[in-house]
Structure 1
Amino acid sequence: MIKIDNIKKKYPEFELDLDMEIGDNTITAILGTNGAGKTTLFKSILGLIHVDQGSIAIDGTPVDSLPPSFKEKIGVVFPDSIVNEYLPIKDVQKIMKASYPHFDQARFEKLIDQFHLPKKSKIRSFSTGEKAKFKLICALTHEADLLILDEPTSGLDVIVREEILDMLRGFMKEEGHSIVISSHISSDLEHLCDDFYIIHDGTIRMHETMDRMDNYGVLKAGSLDEIDKSYALKALKTPYGWSVLTDQKQYYIDNFPHLVIEPASMDDVFSIVVQGESL
């Protein structure tokens, strides 16, 4: 679906330097702290900013050459992206209908009712959760095949976050759909995505599929001298000792029964990869 070939984008205090591929019929998570480069990456994919080096293609077509008919098949949500907040839903609906030849008005109205959004109120009066749901509804109702979602669950309570994730699960029931979603809340995406990239300071620190997450574990030790480092990836100092990430959990279970070994959640992986030190 998306091939990102050795792109670089330089700013005075930040540089994006990435190489990745995002597959068809998958949900790919881009995990990173605020300022890691997630939004810069998405704007590069959409052609909203030009990279200094490298290339980006969607379905084999360079992003700079995508025809309007192809761009209509991409649904986008950014934290600050929304139509004029002084408009009510009915006026936004008119704009959507005029902008997208394949706008699904019936589905739009169904989702507005399903999530009990205030039809007559101006968008500026919506709660944070209502705005988040409305932005996603707009992205979902013009027959998009690809969703690019930048922090769609940021700042939302648990219930609203789960409602949004359910909307994304529904989108993926149709063949030929893909999602690229960023977040700094890694636990939100643990049971949603097929694979994930962790980026930090503009570079990829890890790429893994969810199918392999069962192989990951966290070794607990008072000292790093207690750890066989054969399959130790990174170590994070804690107030109680060290947490060491491995992708060969069973090796340590079989050979070091004295060690405390815990399954690794995505939060564990994210924290240790970003904050830990290499061994």
Structure 2
Amino acid sequence: MLSIENFRKRYDDFELDCTMSVEPGQITGIVGANGAGKSTLFKAILGLVKGDSGRITLFGKEPQQLTREDKEKIGVAFTNAGFNEYLRIKDIVPVLSNVYPSFEKEKFLGSCKKLNLSLDKKLKEFSTGMKAKLNVLIAVSHQAPFLILDEPTAGLDVTAREQVLDLLREYMTEVDGRSIVISSHISSDLEGLCDDIYMIHEGKIILHETMDTILNDYGVIKVTEEQWKKLDKSYLLKKKKESYGYACLTKEKRYYMENHPGVAVENGSLDEVIVMMIQGETV
């Protein structure tokens, strides 16, 4: 579906250097701090940013080669949907019907009602959360086989976030072969949604794993200074100095549970892996 090979984009004080892929039927998460390169990457996928080297293909074509019909196969949800703030949803519906031949009007209107999005209220009167829900709803409403979602649940309360995630799950189950690329600072959303994760830091991919591997195999080992001296460090990825000694990230938590029974080994979470990969030191 999406292939990115050694794509590089240089700015004065920043360089994006990325290789990744998204297979049909897959939900891929992109995580990283603000300024890590996520927005540049998304813009490059859409052809809004031209790289200095490397190659991006979507549907087997480079972004600049995508036809209007190809672009209709992409659903996008950024922070701003791009509509005039004085428009109402009922004003937007005819626009969507004209732009997307596959726009599912009745389903869209039904989802608006379910998500408590007023058809008559001007967009400028919408809360941040309401705008976020509308953005996602527009992205999934025209049968696009590929979605690009940048922080789609930002500003939503727990209930609204779950409604949006349910929309995405339903989107994936309706038709085989659909794919999503999604970024989020809310790791619990990604843990319950994504098949795999790419972690980007200072413009470079520093980790790529399946979500199952992160949740099942990664762990954080907490040791005192004395335990650190005796610890087998063969399977440690990162270490971080703490008041009690060290926190260590491993992909082989079972090894340490079996061979170092006196050492505290905690199950890894996506948040912990992100923190350790970015803030920790290489062992």
What range describes the TM-score normalised by the shorter chain of this pair?
A: over 0.9
Gaps of 5+ in 2: none
State the shift of 1:235 in Å.
1.3
Q: Per-residue CA shift, 1:183-222, capped at 9, x if unaligned?
A: 1222221111000000010000100002323111110012
| Aligned counterparts, 1:1-279, within 5 A | 1-173=1-173, 174-213=175-214, 214-223=216-225, 224-279=228-283
The secondary structure found in structure 2 opposite 1:208 is: strand
Which moved further from structure 2: 108-117 or 223-232?
223-232
Q: Per-residue CA shift, 1:67-109, capped at 9, x if unaligned?
A: 1111101000111333111101111111101111111111111
Which moved further from structure 2: 18-27 or 223-232?
223-232
State the shift of 1:273 in Å.
0.8
Pairwise CA RMSD: 1.2
State the shift of 1:226 in Å.
4.1
Q: Per-residue CA shift, 1:131-185, capped at 9, x if unaligned?
A: 1111111111111111100111123222222221111111110212110001122
Q: TM-score, normalised by structure 2?
A: 0.95
Q: TM-score, normalised by structure 1?
A: 0.97
State the shift of 1:241 in Å.
2.8
Does structure 2 conserve the Cα–Cα contact (< 8 Å) formed by 1:82 and 1:135? no
Partners of 1:37 and 1:16 lie apart in 2 by 6
Does structure 1 conserve the Cα–Cα contact (< 8 Å) formed by 2:80 and 2:135? no
Does structure 2 conserve the Cα–Cα contact (< 8 Å) formed by 1:186 and 1:270? no
Amino acid at match of 1:258: G
The secondary structure found in structure 2 opposite 1:61 is: coil
Partners of 1:151 and 1:263 lie apart in 2 by 26
Amino acid at match of 1:255: N
Partners of 1:36 and 1:30 lie apart in 2 by 10
The secondary structure found in structure 1 opposite 2:189 is: helix
Does structure 1 conserve the Cα–Cα contact (< 8 Å) formed by 2:73 and 2:143? yes
Amino acid at match of 1:124: K
The secondary structure found in structure 2 opposite 1:230 is: coil
Which moved further from structure 2: 23-32 or 76-85?
76-85
Partners of 1:93 and 1:29 lie apart in 2 by 30
Residues 1:126 and 1:276: Cα distance change in structure 2 (over 3 Å): same
Does structure 1 conserve the Cα–Cα contact (< 8 Å) formed by 2:4 and 2:19? yes
The secondary structure found in structure 1 opposite 2:34 is: coil
Does structure 1 conserve the Cα–Cα contact (< 8 Å) formed by 2:132 and 2:155? no
Amino acid at match of 2:151: E
